Amino acid sequence: MKYTPRIAIWLSCLAAPGLAATYTQTDSHQGEGFLESFTHQAIADPTNGRVNYVDQATALAQNLTYYSGDHFVIRADDTTVLSASGPGRNSVRLQSNKQYTTHVSVWSIRHMPQGCATWPAVWEVGADWPNEGEIDVVEGVNDQTPNQSTLHTSDGCTMPASRTQTGTSTLNDCSTADTNNAGCGVLAPSANSYGPPFNSAGGGWYAMERTTSFIKVWFWSRGDGSVPSDVANGATTIDTDNWGTPYAYFPSQSCDFSSHFGEHNIIINLTLCGDWAGAVFNADGCPGDCVTYVNNNPSSFTNAYFDIQWLKIYG
């Protein structure tokens, strides 16, 4: 989840997509199951956010992580005024215990963190960053729609300017060195794919398919009549051939996936300010200084939470 500014919009046209496949469910995470399948990472924020990532015991004790039935919630503290010289606002960063290579992940998310200073993300990353690559499925800052999905890699990975997707490409060079960590991103075509419009619609489904020849990302809003039944129901078998054109399509034709993407952990996190949200805080219409805003306005983070219904993994 590196700095991915929305820059230089380039049009996406047509190119031959890779072939999809039928997949069988290998993992299903819901409610309390997330506590068994993911680890709370109490680490310094690598994106320099004004957050203090806490361990599981602290998160549960402070109600920053909780579950009820099919609701799994992670959120930032919304009660504490922070000392300017002290640590950042308590928040949560989860990492999957399992690692994945080629697979499909489908997320049913009811609510994502919103508000000035927020930088939520759902993503996958290898241990040796950026050499083993990163795939951002859900990411944005300061309530600026739409959602952006991005690849971050080592040198030598680019995307064609024209390819079959409904979203709009930002950069086509995925190298973190070449792009100041921006990578190659694609903006979703609908505003309700991120932030307050996403939440107002009751959330939706994100899906990511990673193969040896392409990576695709789809989004369907909660009331979207075109959502495939296997996606909406979290079916045990899925067929990505029936999902239509993805909004983000990353083919391997100018990027050797075998050398740029390794085993990935899945990450769910909420940071505040930092390298992206802090850098564009005022440009996005947020008041004053980002760090001061986070320190002094705990009630502004009442809606800074994920509510995840489930995550299904297919292989």
Confirm whether 106 is domain-assigned.
Answer: yes
Express each pLDDT in 186-229 by its tens digit.
999 999 999 999 999 999 999 999 999 999 999 999 999 999 99
Q: Catalytic: which of 32, 134, 209, 263?
A: 134
Domain coverage including residue 124:
22-314
For residue 13, being part of any structural domain is answered with no
pLDDT for the residue numbered 21 = 87
pLDDT of residue 14: 36
Answer yes or no: is 15 within a domain. Answer: no
Q: Which helix (H) or strand (E) holds 80?
A: none
pLDDT of res. 19: 52
Cis previous bond, 130, omega within 30: yes
Examine the residue annotation and report whether 132 is marked as an active-site residue of this protein.
no
pTM, 2 dp? 0.93
In a domain, 146, yes or no: yes
User: How many Cβ atoms are within 10 Å of 283's Cβ, its own excluded?
Assistant: 10
**Active-site annotation holds for 263:** no
Which residue among 36, 124, 132, 139 is the active-site one? 139
Residues in the chain with pLDDT < 70?
1-20
Nearest alpha carbon to residue 253 among 1, 2, 16: 16
- For the chain, the domain total comes to 1
Give the number of other Cβ atoms within 10 Å of residue 119's Cβ. Answer: 25
Q: So what's the pLDDT on residue 20? A: 52
pLDDT at 52: 98
**What CATH number does residue 210 fall under?**
2.60.120.200
